[in-house]
Structure 1
Amino acid sequence: MGDRNEKGSAKHRRRTTISGEAAVTQAKRGGAAETLSGQVKEKEPQKHENAAGRQKNHSDAGEDTFSCHKLQESLLSSASGFSNYRGILNWCVVMLVLSNARLVLENLIKYGVLVDPIQIISLFVKDPCSWPALCLIIVTNVFIMAALYTERKLSVGTISERTGSFLHCINLSALLFVPAGTVLSLSSVTPVGGVMALSICTVLFLKLYSYTDVNKWCREQRQAKARTLSRSHSCPSVHKANGTAGYTHVTYPGNLTHRDIYYFAFAPTLCYELNFPRSPRIRKRFLLRRLLEMLFLMQLMVGLIQQFGAPEGNPHEHGENM
């Protein structure tokens, strides 16, 4: 009986141990299932996020393919680095022409064509002495020649420096005051002609002042070199300076020529130099184009003044009204 009880208790113990091990394994299985379900649940939103991101990328790519604009600085701002505004200027000219086309048509319909180039030429041919401003501009050659011959006398030593400075002062003062007094005294001088004549005389005054100063500096340098050198070496140097007038590099007093002073008078500068920087050749085609453009613009301005500036003075209209 005792052995049976012991066997029965052992069976119960084995059953309990087996049942306990089964519970542990079941618990482990349940935990693994929970972790697996959690991982599955975590993966599902990641899939949804990836799908949403792919859809967004596809939508962005689709928008980029159909978009022609991008973020950039304005072309009218300095930060854009754009500097060619030729198209904007052309557009402004086109708008200006279109906005004034109606006025042009009204003027042509009402007055007709009033442009007469023969009338402008006849003003110069019939009475050329009635242009005192032009005569003043021609008279400026006297002041140029006076400055040139005074410098020649100074270079040779015929007159002293004080006498030359006095003559230059008289010449430059006359260049300023004589044209101004003529414009004030003559009533036939037009405002446009008076302004042009006085402007040219003022510019020529500044040019001749620079011309006299540079030549004075050249004389001082030559005298300083002559003092440092001996008499036997100073004479050949003067001969060399006089002989280099025909070469490209000009030295004093070889610059005291009519060609040199008139070149300086027409050069677009106020500072005189003995040797101006020059190009190897004269671009004749370029110069001819610029002259033709200047003449064309002058004729265009005269034609516009005749057509639109004073249409009331048309004799044909007065004849029709009578």
Structure 2
Amino acid sequence: MPQSESEENKLRYRRTQSVTRAEEITTKEEKQRRVQPDKPCHRPRDSLFSWSSGFDNFTGLVNWGFLLLTIGGFRLCLENLLKYGIRINPVQWYNVLSGKNEGEGHPTLMLVAYSIVPMSMCLLLEKGLAADIIPETAGMFSQIVNILVLILLPMVILHVKGHAFSIIGATTVCFLYSILFLKTWSYVQVNMWCRKSFREQQKPRKRRPSISIAELQNHAGHSDDSKQTDKDVPKLVQYPNNLNYKDLFYFLGAPTLCYELNFPRTTRIRKRFLLKRLLEVIFGVNVLMALFQQWIIPSVRNSLIPFSNMDVVLATERLLKLAVPNHLVWLCFFYLTFHSFLNLCGELLHFADRNFYCDWWNANNIDTFWRTWNMPVHRWCVRHLYIPVVQMGYSSRKASVIVFFISAFFHEYLVSVPLQTYKIWAFMGMMGQIPLSSFSKTMQRTFGPRMGNIVVWASIILGQPLCIMMYYHDYVVTHFKDALTSEEYNDS
């Protein structure tokens, strides 16, 4: 055994020597070539498109792609205008958004105003639990019922009196009550954590050993110093002093879904920043409505007949044609919501945490995308769903599936309930993100991060218009059955 080990060491040493010797020979050869009278200009190097070259500056190609995309989009805009004319009509949007298409009594406004009732009920229950007036079990059961009513109330009312609501009004109600559901969940759970900690602090403790007079004087001296240094520091709100309407309504208006007793605050409102965000919101809303009215609606209507007849070729052509305007609208909606509107709310309320999104456009797999594109929802899922489920003894894999299941429910809820077309396309699309995540990670490991990022972008660009076409088809079939036979199909 010792002889064999020594022989292996000699072989390794010789192999190392041979590599070093080869590099030395190559270096000497290059030096000799440089001094030759033929003025050599070649040296060993890889092509820039080779992975081994280490070249990564493709700014010019990115500019080229952006310019080409702009030209293609401009051509599509001209084609749309030549075919359909100018369809933008702000009066129609005003009629829809103002509720003139709704029944008497403005049911959307009534449901929005009624949302104060379950939130007040939640606050009263928390006050009763904090004062030990309500037993813990009964109080938490009442809170769970109150939270479930929040999410089920729009579903029941829209099912019974859906004809009295416009699509915009129904969507607004469902979106508002979904946000209140998540905020109430966080409010109840955080107060439960604080209540447990508060009660533990109120328990009698064992008597501490006596201390000397010198230690007592030193402690007093340190406390005086700390009072002088901390006199300008604002005092933190402690439980149960947070249980009031002012604190609750601030949380309801704050651009976050996760409740805290003491949110980070800014010291002032930046007027120029606020004005920029306000103008972006006003301009962005009009751009979204114009794109939707001019581009999305005609493309979706023209996809109805191919989808009904299961014409795969024409349906695919319509899907690809709808992908570009839909993706443009989605990007505008992302910027308008997560940058302009949430920053506007944060600036008005002095809310300092503006981490509403991360660099999701660089995501190399689906998991990274869902963790970075919507930070308020991601933070809520991790804090109030994923970590508690893991602490209950479930594996991280099962906890992730539960998170996707809840997310899939809300995606379906926000589409099916306003349209009153109860299908499972959005739910299946979200649950399909689990196998798609495994596929994107496989592509990332096999072909590199760039291919994983391409898979992410492909799922975003193609998945949403397919879902829109399926829901539009089902909506027309459910509510306008005669449209399939009476509508003229205009081939582009």
2:263 to 276, 283, 287: 276
Q: Does 1:219 pair with 2:192? A: no
1:139 to 114, 138, 147: 114
Cα gap change, 1:211/1:300 in structure 2, threshold over 3 Å: closer, same or farther? Answer: same
Q: Residues of 2 paired with 1:81 and 1:138: CA distance? A: 59
Report the 3-state secondary structure (helix = DSSP H, G, I; strand = E; otherwise coil) of the residue aligned with 1:60: coil
Cα gap change, 1:191/1:116 in structure 2, threshold over 3 Å: closer, same or farther? Answer: closer
Counterparts of residues 229-244 of structure 1 (less than 5 Å) = none
Question: Is the CA contact (8 Å cut-off) linking 2:33 and 2:40 kept in structure 1?
Answer: no
Q: Which residue in 2 is equivalent to 1:161?
A: 136
Indicate the percent of aligned positions where both proteins have the same amino acid. 34
Q: Does 1:306 pair with 2:293? A: yes
Point out the more displaced range, 296-305 or 186-195.
186-195
Residue-by-residue CA offset, 1:127-159 (whole Å, 9 max, x unaligned): 275575565444323222211122123333443
Cα gap change, 1:252/1:306 in structure 2, threshold over 3 Å: closer, same or farther? Answer: same
Deviation at 1:273, TM superposition (A): 1.7
Deviation at 1:212, TM superposition (A): 1.5
Deviation at 1:54, TM superposition (A): 7.5
Deviation at 1:311, TM superposition (A): 6.3
Q: Letter of the 2:186 partner, please give it.
A: S
Residue-by-residue CA offset, 1:256-282 (whole Å, 9 max, x unaligned): 122322332344444322112334444
Aligned residues: 239
Q: Residues of 1 paired with 2:74 and 2:244: CA distance? A: 54
Cα gap change, 1:275/1:126 in structure 2, threshold over 3 Å: closer, same or farther? Answer: closer
RMSD: 4.0
Report the 3-state secondary structure (helix = DSSP H, G, I; strand = E; otherwise coil) of the residue aligned with 2:265: coil
Q: Which residue in 2 is equivalent to 1:259?
A: 246
Q: Which runs of 5+ in 1 are unaligned?
A: 1-51, 65-69, 231-246, 314-322
1:177 to 136, 152, 156: 152
Higher relative contact order (CA 8 A, sep 6+): 1
Residue-by-residue CA offset, 1:79-135 (whole Å, 9 max, x unaligned): 8484x8776555434323312433433443455433232332244447275575565
Report the 3-state secondary structure (helix = DSSP H, G, I; strand = E; otherwise coil) of the residue aligned with 1:228: coil
Q: Which runs of 5+ in 2 are unaligned?
A: 1-31, 207-233, 302-492
Deviation at 1:60, TM superposition (A): 1.8
Question: Is the CA contact (8 Å cut-off) linking 2:87 and 2:294 kept in structure 1?
Answer: yes
Counterparts of residues 1-322 of structure 1 (less than 5 Å) = 56-61=36-41, 71=46, 74=49, 80=54, 82=56, 90-109=63-82, 111-125=84-98, 127=100, 129-130=102-103, 132=107, 135-188=110-163, 189=165, 194=170, 197-228=173-204, 248-310=235-297
Point out the more displaced range, 263-272 or 247-256.
263-272
Cα gap change, 1:198/1:85 in structure 2, threshold over 3 Å: closer, same or farther? Answer: farther
Q: Residues of 2 paired with 1:89 and 1:248: CA distance? A: 51
Q: Letter of the 2:129 partner, please give it.
A: L
Q: Residues of 2 paired with 1:279 and 1:81: CA distance? A: 43
Cα gap change, 1:119/1:150 in structure 2, threshold over 3 Å: closer, same or farther? Answer: same
Cα gap change, 1:168/1:59 in structure 2, threshold over 3 Å: closer, same or farther? Answer: same
Deviation at 1:171, TM superposition (A): 0.9
Report the 3-state secondary structure (helix = DSSP H, G, I; strand = E; otherwise coil) of the residue aligned with 2:252: helix
Question: Is the CA contact (8 Å cut-off) linking 2:97 and 2:169 kept in structure 1?
Answer: no
Question: Is the CA contact (8 Å cut-off) linking 2:86 and 2:294 kept in structure 1?
Answer: yes
Q: Residues of 2 paired with 1:168 and 1:209: CA distance? A: 9
Structure ranking higher in helix proportion: 1
Report the 3-state secondary structure (helix = DSSP H, G, I; strand = E; otherwise coil) of the residue aligned with 2:162: coil
Deviation at 1:208, TM superposition (A): 1.3
Q: Residues of 1 paired with 2:175 and 2:58: CA distance? A: 34
Deviation at 1:301, TM superposition (A): 1.6
Deviation at 1:180, TM superposition (A): 1.9
Cα gap change, 1:186/1:158 in structure 2, threshold over 3 Å: closer, same or farther? Answer: same
Q: Residues of 1 paired with 2:235 and 2:58: CA distance? A: 43
Report the 3-state secondary structure (helix = DSSP H, G, I; strand = E; otherwise coil) of the residue aligned with 1:115: coil
Q: Letter of the 1:113 partner, please give it.
A: I
Cα gap change, 1:60/1:191 in structure 2, threshold over 3 Å: closer, same or farther? Answer: farther
TM-score, normalised by the number of residues in structure 2: 0.40
Q: Residues of 2 paired with 1:155 and 1:89: CA distance? A: 58
Deviation at 1:303, TM superposition (A): 1.2
Question: Is the CA contact (8 Å cut-off) linking 2:194 and 2:239 kept in structure 1?
Answer: yes
Deviation at 1:304, TM superposition (A): 2.1
Q: Residues of 1 paired with 2:116 and 2:53: CA distance? A: 53
Question: Is the CA contact (8 Å cut-off) linking 2:102 and 2:166 kept in structure 1?
Answer: no
Cα gap change, 1:289/1:88 in structure 2, threshold over 3 Å: closer, same or farther? Answer: farther
Q: Residues of 2 paired with 1:311 and 1:220: CA distance? A: 57
Greater gyration radius: 1
Q: Residues of 1 paired with 2:122 and 2:53: CA distance? A: 54
Deviation at 1:299, TM superposition (A): 0.8
